[in-house]
């Protein structure tokens, strides 16, 4: 075979067109997903992080009050009661109050297949 038949040329042209259409669909889908990421997911994450900030303030306030209580007891408070209280305070101190990161947009993947197919010669030199 020294050259593509008319049928093969038509198939190649159809496949290039199909790839172009499919590529546009992927690009549209990525744009739609990125819109959802920005308008819905990252908005929800930001709202979640605002609640986490409230949790952090609550935790800090309680830890302050717990420290004041423990300091007020001083040396009069010994044994298991003091140890149990310290464990309880430590558990509150260990509460994770770090927010979560926003999600980055996704990128359109490289889709050069149609260009490469179209660039292929239909006959040998």
Which structural domain range is residue 32 located in? 6-98+113-119
Whether residue 104 is contained in a domain is answered as no
Task: Give per-residue pLDDT as tens, 49-87.
Answer: 999 999 999 999 999 999 999 888 877 777 778 888 889
Whether residue 107 is contained in a domain is answered as no
Q: What is the DSSP string of the chain?
A: --B--HHHHHHHHHHHHHHHHHHHHHHHHHHHHHHHIIIIIHHHHHHHHHHHHHHHHHHHHHHHHHHHHHHHHGGG--HHHHHHHHHHHHHHHT------PPPPPPPPPP--HHHHHHHS-SB--
Domain count, the chain: 1
pTM of the model: 0.74
Task: Give per-residue pLDDT as tens, 28-45.
Answer: 999 999 999 999 999 999
Whether residue 1 is contained in a domain is answered as no
Whether residue 79 is contained in a domain is answered as yes
């Amino acid at each position: 075979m020294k050259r593509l038949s008319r049928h093969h040329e038509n198939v190649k042209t159809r496949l290039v067109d199909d790839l172009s259409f499919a590529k546009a669909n992927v690009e549209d889908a990525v744009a739609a997903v990125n819109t959802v990421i920005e308008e819905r997911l990252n908005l929800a994450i930001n709202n979640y992080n605002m609640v986490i900030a409230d949790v952090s303030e609550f935790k800090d306030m309680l830890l302050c009050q717990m420290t004041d209580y423990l300091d007020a007891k001083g040396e009069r408070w010994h044994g298991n009661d003091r140890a149990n209280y310290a464990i309880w305070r430590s558990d509150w101190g260990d509460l994770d109050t770090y927010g979560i990161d926003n999600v980055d947009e996704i990128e359109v993947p490289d889709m050069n297949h149609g260009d490469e197919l179209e660039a292929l010669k239909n006959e040998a030199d």
